[in-house]
Chains A and B, each alone.
Chain A
Amino acid sequence: MIDRDSPVTEEELHAFVDGEVPADRQEAVAAWLTAHPEDAALVAGWRAQADSIRARYGAVVNEPVPVRLTLDQVMRKDRSSGRSWTAMAAAAAVVAFLGGGATGWVAHGAATGTPSSFDTITAEALEAYKLYVVEVRHPVEVPGNERPHMTQWLTKRLGYQQYIPDLESMGLKLVGGRLLPGPTGAAAAFYMYEGASGERFTVYSAPATSPETALRYKDGDRSAAFYWVDDKHAYVVSGPADKDRLKTVTRAVWEQIDRSGARKS
């Protein structure tokens, strides 16, 4: 029976095609379609679309899976390319010798040269984000489990103390980092984090002389960034264009860097 007080909506028609209409509403929708040929034609059209899609691609599941996609092969390849996290963990012990070696500090003013504007640095950071965030196998130069080594190395290259934030509590694992040319010819540091579903965030740091400390936000089509300056050093946190999530991540990064600065002084 058609209940005149609750006409079938277009959403329900889609749900009907997709088997998402609750059992107690099925009959009403079916009756509605009998009474409304135009809606019935719509539904038939959508079903035909679905049938074509399944006819075109459904058989792929029956194809034998190529050898390179078997888990053994995937794991072997990952390991031989040296990027397996478990293999990296084992290697971490070897890297430990770096711990007592070179001191990380270089004279403070050494690399802080030319002024850099918010726009230049943020643009550089977003470019780096877009360039490396799509890399699956080689997104970084130094993997995330070599944090002490990376801290020392980049501190040396950039000329100011690097602090690599820990975002594990937000479900973001440190993928690693790399050295980049900074906006004014100075060096820049670039750290990448990754969540369980593959979403990536990056922290970019370069010398800045503009004294401005306010947090600023810039968003593009699919990515966005927060920028601030802390003691002559610019930081940019970039990620997918989801402002709230990016703000949460940025706050964590800012707090950790701020706290590390406070401890030292």
Chain B
Amino acid sequence: MKSEKRKSIRWELEQLAQKTAKHPVDKSKKAPKYHKLGLNWKDVVIFSLALFYTTLYHINVKAETLTESVQNATTVDFDDISSGMLMAFNKSNGEYRNLQLIKTDYEVDVFGLLATIKLKQTFYNSHDDWITEAVYAFPMADKSAVYALKMTIGDRVIEGEIHEKKQAEKIYQQAKADGLTATMVKQYRPNIFTSDIANIGPQEQVSVEITYQLSLPYEHMFYELRLPMAIKSRYVPPATDVQLPETFGVSEHNHRSIEVKLEAGFELEALRSLHHNVDIKQDFGRHLVSLKDQQLYDHNDFVLRWYPRLEQTPKAAYFSEQKNGYEYSLLMVMPPQDTVKTTQPRNMTFIMDTSGSMHGKALTQSKDALLFALSELDKNTYFNVIDFDSTAKALFPATLPATPDNINKALDFVDGFSSNGGTNMAPALQIAMQRENLRSGYLNQIIFMTDGSVGNEAMIFDQIAQDIGDARLFTIAIGPAPNNYFMSKAAMFGRGTYTHIASLDHVNESMSQLFAQLARPALTDVAVNWSTTDVVQSPSVIPDLYMNQPLVITSKTPIRKAQDRPEFVVSGLNQHKSWSESLQLNGDRRTSGIARLWARNKVEEMTDDLMLGGDHELLKADIIELALKHHLITDFTALVAVDRNPDASRMARAKAAQQVPFPQGSLGWRWNLLIGLLMMICTLLIHRRV
């Protein structure tokens, strides 16, 4: 060994000497060839280790960014959901993935002021495995009373029962754990409902039918039926905590049908659908309206309006239902209309939403509406403009007279609006309701243009109710699918009205209607005096009525006290002058569902009280009692349907699907470490030996 080594060193030296002698300058060129395979192993090790760790690092970083971007792309919240949608819960990664929606059917029955809507959506589990849980969210018309749920699986039909929310949750969870197919419908927001569906078999079809009722508004000489087709995405300020599940692969539905059976109770001057093509058939006093384009999908609400013949314009209408010893009634009265414009000078503050959700057409339309409003101002009127997205900015520090100069400044200000940022309403409303922008002795009117995409609704309502004072808040929604609940409720708390402008063609028409309303005094302190006692009326305090707005109330009277020919006196204040009118109605139209409407209004009143800080426990108990009695879904109650009679094998299969696979149990570094060390030691030994 030793001699060999010595020999080799000598050989080495000789070689080196030869090289330097021959090519003293050329060493740099020769060096690589000289190293050839005899690369220094330490260099190789250092180099390859470096290479290895860089590669490992890059692979890791890549994997992380990849998964991150995938997750970002698929995080969708409930508020982005377009219409009813079923999402299945994927247990391995905690995401919801959607089921195929085959059909959406609306079946609407209109009787006078009352509409009963059956919304049926049919879903298909196209996967080969069981879906343990799916969540399905859908928009609901404003002021609707949801009271029935029917679930159909194959040929089994299961009716839903009403329960207190906690109880419902318990029943549902138990059924889910037992492998029973179950549905639970809850109110997520006042106009968004969700249903949780448990244990849907592979290749199985499930349909969920929800029935709800609502009273139709009669305003500006027409009745209107509105079916929301989309839920507008909401902006929730970062500080507010709203927990929403994640959704995966949300897609739009492919088949939709809408059938309306309309029994108006009077002859129609016109019947039209605002945004969709419809077929209209007449059958004696009835009209049958059906949607033509069933494949079509858009975000416009389905809006149907019907106009009574001028001579038949209703002055009052009365519907009643007898149930459990009580007579429930729905009363609509058109108060006497005063066409004289108000003499009181006005002070108007315009608030404009320029948040990201208003981007595009909505902003153009709002600008148009605002420009129209500004052009209508006379010089005795004071005004100001506030624009907000995440922050609020006012044109003037305080309201100024509408001189041509000031108007021009305002027009420039409005022209400069562009939409971005969040919808943070509170600061803008605060500015509008603070002292600088209010004038005593003036009619203080705040005109609020937005799409109502907010999540912290209750907070805003609270703010409005507290700070509105003598001012009046008028909301104007622009765009196809505003948050109608928010808009009308905000106007209610602000004691004004809500105007919805769905498309560009209607801006001028709707705005002039609103301006006519604003220019005329409201009827205040409206009250109804019944000729009988023990009447529980809802709403108990009637809001101010503006031009062309009817008074609509529901009431509950013990039957023995109810009269065949209801009599009452409607009174109120019109510009500080009192007026009253006594009414006796002949025709009493019996129908069902009035009791439910009354209960629903009562619940809404109590919910408002809750939002404004009423006694939580007391109100909650009252709401639950009322809701259970009238089968209503509220904040505290839910509908549950459980398929109690499946065959045993179905249950077993569903249950089996609820188990989760064991996660991996070891990193497996020991084997690698051992093999690696062995290899390294071998190399070193061999190297030594040779």
Partners in one complex: no
